[in-house]
């Protein structure tokens, strides 16, 4: 028993020694109770953390990740601190302030980006949902209509015709409004071409707009009315630019005042009609009684009379005078002042102005002595500056400012309530006197135009939503060009703007730039500010380009209006526009539409076509054809260019192009619908034209064309197997030699023609050699008695077979000598083929 225990002890010591590991850590000796306790603690931790955490520890540990350290780092991170608003700091801490501002800016960008992302995601989600819903609803509705229509009698199926018309015509791109305008342009051009008296295109358009109430808007009619009214001044001359004639704005100012005064009279009558019981209108229907009724309605409440001066029996004096002036009746204003018995000096000045206006209305010449005295005006202006600037009665203050044409900077807010009132007030206080006035508070016509166009502008008038109002303000201040350019910006109003500009230009009232390459609205250094110039040519071209291919007849009527304009290179703008149109679409129908068809009696003359409607374009029609031909040739559209040169009578250019094209296809076999067939038809027509009428054509070009015309016949015979006729063509025109003695003659003849023939010469030599070789083989296999041949003298002889074969060998030798003698580099394949065929004949 002791032995066994000793052996066990020795074995335990040996095992203990074998399990010892050399480490720096101290050895830990645990008792069984300690091991049990550690085991229980480990078991409790594993069961509490769960198997997932244990597996995670094992997985990350196998990959070299220290999970406890990673956990500590994650716990130290705080996302809330990164996006929390930064606390403000002291004003003196500049560095901290800049740091906070930078971080705030970054946070704001991040938040804004997140919001945009969320909105975009939400929008895309809703779009996808709605699309899916739409498809689902479509499937459900399609499922409702089954094969039996009687089950759903209320569901109607739309039958679509599947039969196409014989000739499909392009759909017009002109809407109803544009078609009406185009019809009026056509009528106007027809009257002009007939030599009749020029009609007023403005009145013509205005009348058309009023008659088409179902198509045209009421506001469009009002815009045409105000434009026609303002343009109805003394006819201008085309020799003088409208911009310079408008420097004296007195005629336009008077027209604008008259228009605004008439509109206000209509407004007062409308108010009176709605308040007949209060207005108590009676007596003679004139401005005096109208103003009395209107003032009674406007000042019926007692508080409306507060602050007004010279009130008698509830009737304020100065509103009567103001509304009389607002209606344009100076006589009524004088009558009210007489009844009031106040301000005799003002009444005298009004009487003088009234007499002056009557003389102007009757077109009487004015003398300087008949004008109101300067002394009286000076006294009233002094009274206005000393007393009336602080007057409690706004109507009296406004009357003095209007009569004396002073104090333009005062807005008169109590009296001026609408844009029309403001504009009328500004026009009334304009300084239109020709004498030099040293009054600092003066408003010229140019100043008023700058005020409306530049200082206030589109934003002040809310021009996008109130387009007719802003247009009317610009027109009433004589700024036609700016008004039309503003109107032309929108698609709905562009047709009206284009035709307004056309009508004004025909009345010599539109200022246009000297260069058609200028922008749509431009300024000229020589014009008084803020004068603008409207590029009418650019406006018409932009408008017409949209429908010139579908409505060519109407487009040409618009281009006819550009006949007096010149391009930058001096060409007629109408011809240039029509040329561009034909270059884009130069088919057979378009050419017939524009130029017509050739006259059977004279192929050089074309009859019919749109251009025949304009009697002054008979000669320009052929110039136009030449222009189109040059442009087509520049774009390498040679077939169409030749056709246009034919129309224009420029046979020299047509021959050059025809020769250049024939050299490329003359050696090809004739096929139906090929380019060669088309050029052959052109060549036949060219021959007919040259036979009927002589033309100035260079001799080398004519020789080249004659030679190519003969080669067309030669290759036709060659490809059709008619060798005898093909040889006759060559012999008749001395194109190829029959012997070595004729080589020099043929070479010298080729030097006289153009270089275009050299391109086809290799094919001619190969075809001629092939014909000789064919005859050689035929004779070789034929009878030994005799045969027919054609000698160089074109006489039919009976020759032995050997002599004919020898003659064929000589002709073959002559061809190879000619190919070697020509001062042109022949293709190597051609020389090789010629030599091979010659060798085969020996």
* Predicted pLDDT at 489: 93
φ and ψ at 587, to 5 degrees? -85, 180
* Predicted pLDDT at 407: 84
* Predicted pLDDT at 27: 60
CB atoms within 10 A of CB 341: 11
- What's the rounded Cα separation, in Å, for the pair 508 and 511? 8
Indicate if the pLDDT at residue 554 is higher than 70: yes
φ and ψ at 533, to 5 degrees? -125, 135
What torsion, rounded to 10 degrees, do the Cα atoms 587, 592, 594, 598 define? 130
Query: pLDDT for 416-433, tens place per residue?
Result: 999 999 999 999 988 765
| H helix runs in 545-650, sequence order | 552-560, 573-584, 588-595, 620-634, 638-648
Rounded to the nearest 5 degrees, what angle is found at the Cα of 718, between the Cα atoms of 714 and 723? Answer: 100
SS3 call for 570: coil
Binning the chain into helix, strand and coil, the percentages to the nearest 5 are 65, 5, 30
- 178 CB-contact burial (10 Å; exposed 0-12 / middle 13-18 / buried 19+): buried
SS3 call for 598: strand
Q: Which is more confidently placed, 606 or 184?
A: 184
What torsion, rounded to 10 degrees, do the Cα atoms 559, 561, 563, 564 define? -140
- What's the rounded Cα separation, in Å, for the pair 295 and 748? 107
What torsion, rounded to 10 degrees, do the Cα atoms 500, 506, 510, 515 define? 110
Q: Which is more confidently placed, 280 or 49?
A: 280
SS3 call for 632: helix
The encoded tokens of residue 375 equal 């002394």
- What's the rounded Cα separation, in Å, for the pair 65 and 54? 14
* Predicted pLDDT at 223: 95
The encoded tokens of residue 644 equal 């246009």
Query: pLDDT for 374-391, tens place per residue?
Result: 788 888 888 888 888 778
The model's pTM is 0.70
Rounded to the nearest 5 degrees, what angle is found at the Cα of 536, between the Cα atoms of 533 and 539? Answer: 115
* Predicted pLDDT at 373: 64
Query: pLDDT for 608-632, tens place per residue?
Result: 788 888 877 656 788 888 899 999 9
Confidence of residue 643 (pLDDT cuts 50, 70, 90): confident
3-state secondary structure 310-347: CEECCEEHHHHHHHHHHCCCHHHHHHHHHHHCCCHHHH
Mean pLDDT, to the nearest integer, of 453-472? 92
What percentage of the chain has pLDDT greater than the value 70? 82
Confidence of residue 169 (pLDDT cuts 50, 70, 90): low
281 in Cβ contact with 293 (< 8 Å)? yes
Altogether, the residues listed in the chain come to a count of 842
Indicate if the pLDDT at residue 53 is higher than 70: no
The answer for residues whose C-beta is within 8 angstroms of residue 398's C-beta and 6 or more apart is 322, 412, 415, 425
* Predicted pLDDT at 237: 66
Q: Mean pLDDT for the chain?
A: 82
Count the alpha carbons within 13 Å of 615 in the hemisphere toward its beta carbon: 7
Q: Which residue has the tokens 């068809």?
A: 597
- What's the rounded Cα separation, in Å, for the pair 174 and 186? 14
- What's the rounded Cα separation, in Å, for the pair 350 and 366? 17
Confidence of residue 160 (pLDDT cuts 50, 70, 90): very low
Indicate if the pLDDT at residue 798 is higher than 50: no
Confidence of residue 474 (pLDDT cuts 50, 70, 90): very high
What torsion, rounded to 10 degrees, do the Cα atoms 68, 73, 79, 81 define? 140
Count the alpha carbons within 13 Å of 621 in the hemisphere toward its beta carbon: 26
Q: Which residue has the tokens 């020898």?
A: 806
DSSP 514-526: S-TTS-SEE--TT
């Amino acid at each position: 028993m002791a032995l066994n225990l000793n052996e066990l002890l020795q074995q335990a010591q040996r095992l203990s020694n074998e399990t010892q590991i050399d480490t720096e850590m101290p050895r830990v000796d645990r008792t069984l109770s300690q091991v049990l306790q550690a085991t229980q603690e480990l078991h409790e931790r594993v069961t509490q953390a769960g198997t997932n955490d244990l597996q995670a520890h094992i997985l990350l540990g196998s990959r070299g990740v220290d999970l406890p350290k990673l956990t500590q780092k994650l716990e130290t991170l705080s996302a809330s601190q990164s996006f929390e608003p930064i606390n403000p700091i002291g004003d003196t801490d500049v560095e901290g302030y800049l740091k906070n501002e930078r971080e705030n800016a970054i946070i704001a960008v991040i938040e804004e980006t997140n919001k945009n992302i969320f909105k975009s995601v939400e929008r895309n989600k809703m779009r996808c949902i709605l699309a899916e819903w739409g498809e689902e609803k479509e499937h459900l509705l399609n499922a409702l209509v089954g094969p039996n229509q009687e089950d759903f009698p209320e569901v109607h199926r739309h039958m679509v015709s599947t039969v196409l018309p014989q000739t499909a015509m392009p759909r017009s791109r002109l809407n109803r409004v544009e078609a009406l305008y185009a019809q009026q342009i056509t009528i106007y051009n027809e009257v002009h071409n007939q030599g009749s008296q020029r009609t007023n295109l403005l009145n013509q358009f205005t009348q058309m707009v009023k008659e088409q109430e179902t198509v045209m808007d009421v506001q469009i009619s009002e815009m045409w009315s105000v434009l026609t009214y303002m343009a109805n001044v003394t006819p201008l001359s085309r020799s003088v630019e409208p911009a310079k004639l408008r420097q004296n704005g007195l005629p336009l100012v008077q027209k604008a005042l008259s228009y605004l005064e008439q509109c206000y009279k209509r407004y007062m009558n409308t108010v009176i009609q709605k308040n007949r019981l209060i207005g108590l209108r009676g007596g003679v229907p004139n401005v005096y009684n109208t103003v009395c009724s209107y003032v009674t309605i406007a000042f019926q409440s007692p508080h409306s009379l507060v602050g007004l001066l010279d009130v008698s029996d509830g009737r304020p004096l100065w509103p009567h005078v103001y509304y009389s002036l607002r209606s344009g009746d100076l006589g009524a204003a004088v009558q009210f002042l007489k009844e009031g018995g106040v301000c005799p000096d003002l009444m005298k000045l009004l009487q003088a102005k009234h007499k002056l206006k009557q003389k102007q209305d009757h077109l009487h010449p004015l003398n300087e002595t008949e004008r109101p005295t300067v002394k009286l005006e000076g006294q009233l202006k002094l009274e206005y500056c000393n007393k009336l600037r602080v007057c409690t009665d706004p109507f009296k203050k406004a009357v003095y400012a209007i009569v004396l044409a002073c104090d333009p900077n005062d807005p008169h807010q109590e009296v001026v309530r609408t844009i029309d009132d403001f504009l009328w007030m500004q026009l009334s206080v304009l300084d239109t006197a020709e004498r030099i006035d040293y009054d600092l508070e003066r408003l010229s016509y140019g100043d008023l135009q700058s005020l409306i166009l530049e200082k206030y502008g589109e934003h002040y008038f809310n021009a996008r939503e109130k387009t007719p109002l802003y247009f009317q303000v610009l027109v009433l201040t004589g700024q036609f060009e700016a008004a039309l350019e503003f109107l032309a910006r929108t698609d709905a109003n562009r047709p009206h703007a284009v035709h307004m500009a056309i009508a004004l230009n025909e009345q010599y009232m539109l200022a246009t730039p000297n260069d058609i390459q200028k922008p749509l609205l431009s300024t000229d250094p020589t014009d008084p500010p803020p004068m603008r110039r409207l590029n009418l040519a650019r406006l018409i071209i932009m408008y017409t380009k949209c429908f010139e291919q579908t409505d060519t007849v109407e487009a040409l009527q618009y281009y006819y209006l550009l006949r007096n304009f010149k391009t930058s290179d001096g060409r007629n703008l109408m011809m240039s526009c029509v040329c561009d149109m034909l270059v884009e679409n130069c088919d057979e129908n378009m050419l017939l539409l524009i130029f017509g068809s050739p006259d059977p009696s004279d192929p050089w003359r074309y009859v019919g076509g749109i251009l025949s409607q304009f009697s002054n374009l008979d000669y320009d029609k052929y110039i136009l054809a030449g222009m189109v031909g040059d442009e087509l040739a520049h774009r390498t559209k040679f077939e169409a260019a030749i056709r246009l040169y034919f129309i224009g009578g420029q046979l020299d250019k047509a021959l050059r192009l025809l020769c250049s094209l024939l050299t490329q296809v003359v050696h090809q076999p004739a096929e139906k619908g090929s380019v060669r067939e088309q050029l052959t038809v052109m060549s036949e027509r060219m021959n007919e034209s040259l036979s009927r009428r002589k033309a100035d054509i260079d001799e080398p070009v004519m020789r080249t064309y004659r030679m190519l015309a003969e080669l067309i016949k030669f290759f036709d015979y060659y490809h059709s197997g008619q060798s005898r006729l093909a040889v006759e063509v060559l012999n008749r025109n001395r194109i190829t030699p029959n012997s070595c003695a004729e080589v020099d003659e043929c070479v010298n003849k080729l030097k006289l023609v153009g270089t275009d023939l050299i391109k086809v010469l290799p094919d001619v030599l190969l075809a001629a050699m092939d014909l000789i070789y064919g005859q050689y083989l035929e004779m070789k296999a034929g009878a030994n008695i005799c045969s027919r041949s054609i000698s160089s003298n074109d006489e039919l002889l009976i020759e032995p077979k050997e002599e004919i074969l020898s003659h064929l060998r000589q002709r073959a030798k002559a061809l190879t000598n000619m190919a070697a003698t020509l001062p042109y580099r022949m293709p190597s394949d051609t020389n090789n083929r010629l030599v091979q065929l010659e060798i085969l004949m020996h």
